[in-house]
Chain A
């Protein structure tokens, strides 16, 4: 399977690259795009600096020489970028950029683009869903689904699993813990797709779209996280 990681940042993409390469018969590429029209030259310099400083010179060099890093001079929806994407003949995209994708971009990938969302779909769409799950006393988790043009509305969910965050001391730590699991969840989703054993869950419209949370309710979410930490500690002692 030919897989492209759509990213604005090299180090973030490399974590996923390393994990997804473990899947048999996979050919993985890092596709680097500028985040907006104004930042093209700045982004190229930033990518080069990160390639060398953060990822390790030899590893970066090996990836570049192997043709695994593709730099797009234009933003994702630019016709030139789309033409180049089509030439790459990719089966699957993995989302790691700050972009909302248009149909033309999604259609450049035979199967589509996957997104690892830090909430349990279909119930929790949108922003601050980890915090909203905590406030409402629901399990926290990660869902990997095929993106469409809406906000977490893609109809095919490949994976949706609860994740224990009770060991995390703060909302920030819990969120980072979930974000750092994206590579693992992407690998597992690719394995399922590769093996042809996917039973898609439907992302039907039973869920709600959530928005960025106020400080007032974030405080409640933090308290709920602390309660779950205490309950987990009691459970471990018993």
Chain B
């Protein structure tokens, strides 16, 4: 792998993403305006988290954990039993077939989002990446942003971004690159969790930092 060429490209992209983050207006994000301001002010150097070797539990929820990770903070967790992968994957596939949102399913499983990087979660990671890069991408490119559930899309992007901060598998970072190029710069989703856009951009800068 020509690491220096990737590093040069990533450095340029990082500058660009920071500029886009600067354009976010915290006032558009209601009670989470403080968090969005935090993302704008918090794009500082940080040490990427370590890949958890086993499943971890946290007392918080997925969205709160994502906000913390996006700001470069750690999330406290303790060891817990790994929930079954295959039956969850079946649920995701069923939801996809029935065009139901993934938001609650994924939010419940990944209350500690770093668990997505646990080795045993590989099949779910691949499924999430595939949904983003085939189904969601296809619908957006054939139609428009309105063709997908924005909260679903943003949650998938955030989870992929969390994994991208910890892996050398470039496909995950490149899914973020692709969506950064695909999403209109001025896009502001009119949804319950619009702040996930700022969260994704914060995590994206951290994932890019891994390759700089």
Contact = CB atoms under 8 A, between A and B. Distances in A.
Nearest to B10: A216
Interface in B123-154: 126, 129-130, 133-134, 137
Of A208, A209, A213, A217, most B-chain CB atoms within 10 Å: A217
Contacts of B137: 212
Interface in A209-238: 209-217, 219-220, 223-224, 227
A206 interface: no
Contacts, number: 54
A137 B2 CA distance: 7
A220 B126 CA distance: 24
Interface in A126-142: 135-137
B18 interface: no
Contacts of A212: 133, 137, 178
Decide if the interface of chain B is mainly helix, strand, loop or mixed.
helix
B181 A215 contact: yes
A208 B175 CA distance: 14
Interface residues of B, number: 22
A209 B170 CA distance: 12
Contacts of A208: 169, 171
Interface size class of A (residues with CB under 8 A): 10 to 19
Given A135-B170, A211-B133, A211-B171, A216 B5 contact: no
Contacts of A216: 9-10, 13, 174, 177, 181
Contacts of A227: 2
A220 B133 contact: no
Nearest to B178: A214
A223 B4 CA distance: 11
A135 B130 CA distance: 20
B181 A217 contact: no
A5 to B, nearest CB: 27
B6 interface: yes
Of A137, A210, A216, A220, most B-chain CB atoms within 10 Å: A216
Contacts of A136: 1, 170
Interface in A19-48: none
Nearest to A223: B5
Contacts of A220: 2, 5-6, 9
Contact of B5 (A209, A211, A224): A224
A23 B174 CA distance: 43
B175 A211 contact: yes
A213 B175 CA distance: 8
A135 B133 contact: no
Interface in A141-172: none
A223 B8 CA distance: 11
B177 A209 contact: no
Contact of A224 (B2, B13, B129, B177): B2
A203 B111 CA distance: 36
A220 B177 CA distance: 13
Contact of B129 (A135, A211, A219): A211
Interface string B149-177: 00000000000000000000111001101
Nearest to A219: B9
A217 B1 CA distance: 12
Given A211-B133, A213-B174, A220-B9, 15 more contacts: A135-B6, A136-B1, A208-B169, A211-B171, A211-B175, A212-B178, A214-B174, A214-B177, A214-B180, A214-B181, A216-B9, A217-B9, A217-B170, A219-B9, A220-B6
22 contacts: A135-B1, A135-B2, A136-B170, A137-B2, A208-B169, A208-B171, A209-B126, A211-B130, A214-B174, A214-B178, A215-B177, A215-B181, A216-B13, A216-B177, A217-B9, A217-B170, A217-B174, A219-B9, A220-B5, A220-B6, A223-B2, A227-B2
The 6 closest A-B pairs by CB, nearest first: A214-B177, A211-B133, A214-B178, A216-B177, A220-B5, A137-B1
